[in-house]
Structure 1
């Protein structure tokens, strides 16, 4: 089955009170329109037709689209029906046509698959039940069959009590769409051509209107104002959390966390409150993510403990590691199995071997550290000379005493020891004790 997806993205979005085109406002670090594109692109044999109006060049430059996407210009914004009309000539014969909105980003793939599963002479309409239908077009039925959509301003008192409302998302055959769209009139106060009018027209043409409902109301929320965008973000968090809960992920409170990207979490992992996930994050099984932590573009393997208020960015954390509290890992850090990075330790552009520990107040930058190394409190990897950054290599089994400064470029051999308070500027061979500090003198006080 061929699927032609018409995405309406020509609206000015004046109620957003922003210089940014409405469909480019971001949800989870992606434009609203990008969410719609990404979901629709997952439909088999889908071809996208995106209708643009204002700021079309900016919008085209701001999103990624599948090969073969057709960009269509709506020079005059005369309503949603008029926008769809601009795309009719691009529809493939025999295709099912799905009409989407660029500011309604959370419709799931499973919902779309149900909507496009049509028989001959059917039109699919995505509706939802709400306790507060104010502002939505009511779905009017007779003998359990849809006969019309009545807008709020035109609804009778009885019709306003209807709780099933229109999302605006429609699917039908290209043939039927080409028949119905030209029949839409602009006999209304706005002098616009409304896509919703095709429902009544379809009924007149003996086309059966099949209603489909999403898994949650959050799927069909749009963003026409800053307030609605805020509600959309809350819905995204809830949908994301519930999807993970179904896979045995545990949350302290799904209303107190923030998803800002593509997040995968393994079973039996616990996420405490006020955690932020950003970008592409992959967390394994049986982990603990402490309150107030931020995980960005990182992989965390199984059975890792991230204590509260830790930041992990663009890094790989091996299984059974312990991080934090108040640790900063990354960017470009790689921790192997059973590494412990404690409070107020920063690790940047470094590789740390298994069983190594840096538990207190240290800076590890541009380091390559072997296995079972102990890095004492206050240790600094001095990696920058004012012009360039250099690397420090520490062999397995080494012991770095507290308050040491390791001045790169530097190599510290296996099983060597650095005395506390040392400033080390020369390479240390294996199995040696290095002391780089002045001799203590006890002088009589005056």
Structure 2
């Protein structure tokens, strides 16, 4: 169960914090994908605030994901109770996750589930020690180290706020000990909400043990509540992706300044220079060189291609052994066949350029089809817009277009 109904007030955004982009995915989708990768058979996402946006961010076509609706934001405990009918026939353990944990790894969930099963406790939770615990619930332990309760910051005393062990919003609970005990929780707290964390104290009063899995890497299990934490989570995922690519045979000259989204694919022996940004569903082939400061979004780059510094590529397909840039701008629906060349200060949009063709300098090519081994001279413009509609230019194989030529579409 993923809790994704909250307001996220500290983000100070008109959008739900759970739809904010974190390294190429909406924040909440990272949590959904982590649960899937950990082997969770079915996921229920509790939505409420800006429910339609969150539903779209999660993805509505996955049969393993269902949605429960929290009609009013009355706390995390109330959110869990909103999903009761979706799990009415279920028996066994339920993993409950806050939706703002984009850095969470699947193997952490697997280890935590194993820990819970071996503990014999009806409820287990993940904790971490942090230097700055502000904003998080604090773990209160007994004299012998057992977890006795969780106190939210708004309800904590000064002494309790000094505690540095925090609740991470990750729980595993036997469903037999979930619904009835949670219904006994009361909103007698500073926020007038029903807290899921009250389940700890309720089960303890009933004589049950509550197990705590203390995670050694706090960065992975901290929620995202404001823009600073959003930046930290994005940085952590970019760093993780860069490390994984370097282990797999990709050269990244400066990982600290190279931003690679989590779903990007990069082939072996590719070299990424400082300041490269690879976003979205980009796929980079083998033996590619991408020059400093280049930005590629939702595009495919073929084996052996070289992008010189400061190129911008969006929603395009670049073939094998092409040469691009420097300072080239490939806008959406650009398709370059193998060995094509796009030089400095060339802009393209909705074109196909054939094998071995080239436009090396100061050119705009839009709504055009260019054959094989054609030469487009410096200063050439395809005049594709007549003020009402876009019109196409067709340049056939081995055509030579001289410098400073304007092709007023439609033209062949």
**TM-score strictly above 0.5:** yes
Q: 1:68 to 1:233 in 2, by over 3 A?
A: closer
**Corresponding residue of 1:81:** 77
Checking the alignment, whether the CA contact within 8 Å between 1:262 and 1:280 is kept in structure 2 is: yes
**Which protein has the bigger helix share?**
2
Query: What TM-score does the superposition give when structure 2 sets the normalisation length?
Result: 0.84
Q: 1:75 to 1:384 in 2, by over 3 A?
A: closer
Cα distance between partner residues in 1 of 2:54 and 2:296: 29
Spell out the pairing of 1:101-250 with structure 2 (5 A cutoff).
101-117=98-114, 118-119=116-117, 121-122=120-121, 123-136=123-136, 137-138=138-139, 140=141, 146=147, 148-149=149-150, 154=156, 160=162, 162=164, 164-178=165-179, 180-202=181-203, 205-207=207-209, 209-211=211-213, 213=215, 216-250=217-251
Q: Structure 1 regions of 5+ residues with no counterpart? A: 1-5, 412-446
Provide the secondary structure at the position in 2 that maps to 1:255: helix
**Corresponding residue of 2:12:** 17
Q: 1:159 to 1:336 in 2, by over 3 A?
A: same
Q: 1:329 to 1:139 in 2, by over 3 A?
A: farther
What is the deviation of 1:209?
A: 1.5
What is the deviation of 1:260?
A: 5.5
CA radius of gyration, larger in: 1
Cα distance between partner residues in 2 of 1:349 and 1:403: 21
Higher relative contact order (CA 8 A, sep 6+): 2
What is the deviation of 1:170?
A: 0.7
Checking the alignment, whether the CA contact within 8 Å between 1:343 and 1:360 is kept in structure 2 is: yes
Cα distance between partner residues in 2 of 1:111 and 1:71: 24
Q: Structure 2 regions of 5+ residues with no counterpart? A: none
Spell out the pairing of 1:266-345 with structure 2 (5 A cutoff).
266-345=267-346
Query: What TM-score does the superposition give when structure 1 sets the normalisation length?
Result: 0.78
What is the deviation of 1:316?
A: 1.1
Cα distance between partner residues in 2 of 1:406 and 1:56: 50
> Could you say what the CA RMSD is over the residues aligned between the two structures, in angstroms?
3.2
What is the deviation of 1:149?
A: 4.1
Cα distance between partner residues in 2 of 1:374 and 1:217: 57
**Corresponding residue of 1:377:** 378
What is the deviation of 1:296?
A: 1.2
Checking the alignment, whether the CA contact within 8 Å between 2:127 and 2:212 is kept in structure 1 is: no
Aligned length: 403
